[in-house]
Structure 1
Amino acid sequence: MLTVRPVARLVAAGLVAGVLAAVPLSSPVGAAPATPSARGTDVVSRAVTFDVVNTNGTNLACSADNQSYELHGSLVGPRHEVLSASAPRINVLVHDLATGSWSWHLRRHPGVDYARKLAQRGETSLVLDRLGYGRSPLPDGNATCLGAQADMLHQVVQHLRSGHYDFSRHPDRGTPAAEHVVVHGHSTGAAIAELEAGTYDDIDGLVVMSWTDRGASQRALDAAQAQSSLCLKGQDHATFGGSKKDYRSLLFASAARTVQRDGADLRAATPCGDALSLSQMVASAPTTTRKIEAPVLLLFGGKDALNRRDARQTQVDAYDSSTGVTHHTVKGAGSALALEASAARTRSRVLHWLHTLD
């Protein structure tokens, strides 16, 4: 059942601010809540670039090369927003280690193309390749770290708000400035989003998928250790999950075979700076989480191989500064919620929650 934990400011009758109340939504148990409709939306996708500096201004103790880079992504949304001077809201989609922007925008499988499906409901999203992944290559994978990834995410958020970024093919054409920015993160991408939100307090909402600050499963710990060992042996990029079969079993529980196969084929080698700073990220995450003030939506997979079931409620309770925490477990889903057989239910939960922010 979907539950909400708002932090209300109650002034009537002399009540003190900060009272917590558990308020269930009115949708039936097991049913996805109704979502706003935008049928007939003309969806477009336009390549965009962002100028960033690979620097770490967070409290995460890891180093980066402080050099300038260009991050690449796609702006996916209704034509009238993508090609206008402003957009009411832009959702920034932050991918996990070993994946890439494809995990949010898998065009060859339109039924689980998260960005396009949201666009068909009127939402505009930035599908970004973080530094060291996909269209945003980094020759030396040791030159960045997760603290710098959060810092660069902050820079992207600021560029979105100001409209100071470019269409790749038409740099002379103005890009839309976002009136509001909501960040969606998957797994370690969610941890990066948490660090950005807790450090800079510049977003209007946070969607955390398949991440717990202190709840990694033994399989997740073993896979992370194996990846770190490759890095410590001198590699600057390292794969996550061993064989393709192992990778699929870590990421998926119910996704179509073709989706799993293509996901394994698209698996990216992780920059070692990211892999080696993951332990520091985990250690500092609880402190960061407590500082997040934006509304938070937490989504877990019922069969997530990377997170322990007993850690979910602890994660829900961790956002004690947030103006509202909503959480839901998607039955039968693995870590890659946006790509699983239940992807439509995941999107419905997200869309309903986004609608509550309007």
Structure 2
Amino acid sequence: MRPTLLGALTALLAALLATPPATAAPPRIESRGVVFDVSNINETSVPCTSDGQQYHLRGRLVGPTKDLDGVSGALRVNVLVHDLGAGGWFWNLRSHPAYDYATRLAAQGETTLVLDRLGYGASRLADGNATCLGAQANMLHQVVQHLTSGRYDYTSSRFGATPAAAHVVTHGLGIGAAIAQVEAGTFDDVDGLVLMSWTDRGATSLATRAAARHSRDCVGTDYAPRPSMRELFFSSASGAVRRAVVHRQDDDPCGDVGSLSPLVLGSNLEAREVDAPVLLLYGGKDKVNRASAREDQAASYSTRVTTRTFPGAGYALPLEKQAGQVRAAVLRWLR
């Protein structure tokens, strides 16, 4: 009997050891419309003029349901700041789920705010000359303050109160990254910066020519069509993703276009004032920023800086074939 009992116990132990551990179910994810009341003012180092009026900024809070319901404890919100020619859709490309940055981060437990800056998408502005990039940084600051206090609203009353953020990290691409940098250097109210495809020290000649053409498009009008993203944004993205992006391109408020040079100056001035940790991400085949400027950009901060370059990727990192690697690097850094 004893050998039989011993054999049974050995078999049972082997079966238990072979059984894979239970894994946690993926979080339930939701996307809810939100609105922020902001003043279109400029109190930054970027010399440009705005109309000082009150506006609604609209966007979407994307994350686990428990976070959006405010029952998960200390909440981190990642604020996604889009580039020129884009809108919140850039970070939330739901037609191509593999490249939906906001939803993919939510699947890993992160909550994001996908914002339409003033003049874009659901935050359309009647007069595109009424705002500027310094004001965009100031309005981003107001959004951060509203997030930390919980003083903003869901667009649907059925969701109840909005959650307050214990921590805010801003993510920006291109001009969106510059806006986030100016905001952080001026107001010192965020816990981290993820800056993609940005340097205030080395635009390529191709990017400089495109910016000059864009400025000429604003002569005598208040909105200008963005120079083709096909030319500047991509290196490895699929044809389907490129077509989806070009189809969604937003016109740019000419107040933003006219304040590009002042923004670069302000970004340069504010770099040393940034206290939050910085993650700099670049594509190895970026057509907008010179590769030689990346080290200078990293050296411009007095805080902790992490730099990562993705070989083969272009400027639009969240939409390139390397998008999964980009998100993985961001998640490692956040954690």
TM-score, L = length of structure 2: 0.91
- Contact map agreement 1:303 1:334 (CA 8 A) in 2: yes
> 2-side partners of 1:102 and 1:330: how far apart?
23
Q: Which amino acid aligns with 1:162?
A: S
1:47 aligns with 2:33: yes
Given the superposition, is the C-alpha separation of residues 171 and 319 from structure 1 closer, same or farther in structure 2, using an over 3 Å criterion? farther
1:77 is paired with a residue whose SS is strand
Change (3 A) 1:347 1:287: same
Using the aligned pairs only, state the percent identity. 54
Q: Partners of 1:155 and 1:105 in 2: how far apart?
A: 22
Report which stretch shifted further, 52-61 or 280-289: 280-289
C-alpha contact 1:163 1:176 (8 A) present in aligned 2: yes
CA contact 1:197–1:292 (8 Å) conserved in 2:
yes
Aligned pairs for 1:1-80 within 5 A: 40-80=26-66
In 2: Cα distance, 1:284 partner to 1:66 partner: 20
For residue 251 of structure 1, the aligned residue among 210, 233, 240 is 233
Residues 77 and 38 from structure 1, CA distance in 2 versus in 1: closer, same or farther, beyond 3 angstroms? farther
1:249 Cα offset (Å): 2.5
Shift of the alpha carbon at 1:152?
0.2
Q: Which residue of 1 aligns with 2:264?
A: 282
1:337 to 304, 317, 333: 317
Runs of 4+ aligned structure 1 residues displaced above 6 Å come to none
Larger radius of gyration, structure 1 or 2?
2
Q: Does structure 2 conserve the Cα–Cα contact (< 8 Å) formed by 1:39 and 1:121?
A: no
Between the aligned partners of 1:38 and 1:269, the Cα distance in structure 2 is: 43
Structure 1 equivalent of residue 92 of structure 2: 105
- Matched ranges for 1:156-167 at <5 A: 156-167=143-154
Distance 1:191 1:39, change over 3 A: farther
Asked whether the 8 Å contact 1:39–1:120 carries over to 2, the reply is no
Distance in 2 (CA, whole Å) between partners of 1:60 and 1:211 is 17
1:211 — aligned with what? Answer: 198
> Which residue does the alignment assign to 2:293?
311
Q: Where does the alignment leave 5 or more consecutive residues of structure 1 unmatched?
A: 1-36
Q: Is the 8 A contact 1:99 1:267 kept in 2?
A: yes
Take 1:261 and 1:210, find their aligned partners in 2: how far apart are those partners?
21
Aligned-partner SS, 1:135: helix
* Number of equivalenced pairs: 312
For 2:183, which of 192, 196, 199 is the aligned residue?
196
Paired with 1:171 and 1:55, the residues of 2 have a C-alpha distance of 32
Cα distance between partner residues in 2 of 1:283 and 1:40: 44
TM alignment of 1:60-139, pairs within 5 A:
60-84=46-70, 87-139=74-126
Amino acid at match of 2:322: S
Query: Does the 8 Å CA contact 2:40/2:54 hold for their aligned counterparts?
Result: yes
Partner of residue 27, structure 1:
none
CA–CA distance in structure 1, aligned partners of residues 257 and 24 of structure 2:
40
User: Residue 173 of structure 1: CA displacement?
Assistant: 1.4
> Does structure 1 retain, via aligned residues, the 8 Å contact 2:46–2:265?
no
How many angstroms apart in 1 are the aligned matches of 2:159 and 2:333? 35
Shift of 1:287: 1.3
More helix by share: 2
**Residues 110-150 of structure 1, C-alpha deviation per residue, up to 9 Å, x if partnerless?**
00000000000000000000000001000100000000000
Alpha-carbon displacement from aligned partner over 1:44-92 (angstroms, at most 9, x marks no partner): 1000000001000112110000000000000000011011256520000
1:219-255: CA deviation from partner (whole Å, max 9, x where unpaired) = 1111111111111x211011221xxxx4213111111
Q: Write the letter of the residue equivalent to 1:141.
A: G
How far, CA to CA, are the matches of 2:209 and 2:221 in structure 1? 18
Alpha carbons 1:238, 1:270 under 8 Å: kept? yes
Unaligned segments of structure 2, at least 5 residues: 1-22
**TM-score when normalising by structure 1:** 0.85
> What's the counterpart of residue 3 of structure 2?
none
What is the CA RMSD across the aligned residues, in angstroms?
Answer: 1.3
DSSP-derived class of the 1:328 partner: strand
Q: Aligned to 2:84, what secondary structure does the other structure show?
A: coil
Deviation at 1:283, TM superposition (A): 2.1
User: What is the letter of the counterpart of residue 262 of structure 1?
Assistant: A
Partner of 1:24: none
User: How many Å separate the matches in 2 of 1:184 and 1:312?
Assistant: 18
> Which residue is equivalent to 1:260?
242
- Measured against aligned partners, the alpha-carbon deviations of 1:149-170 in whole angstroms (never above 9, x if no partner) come to 0000000000000000000011
Q: AA paired with 1:271?
A: P
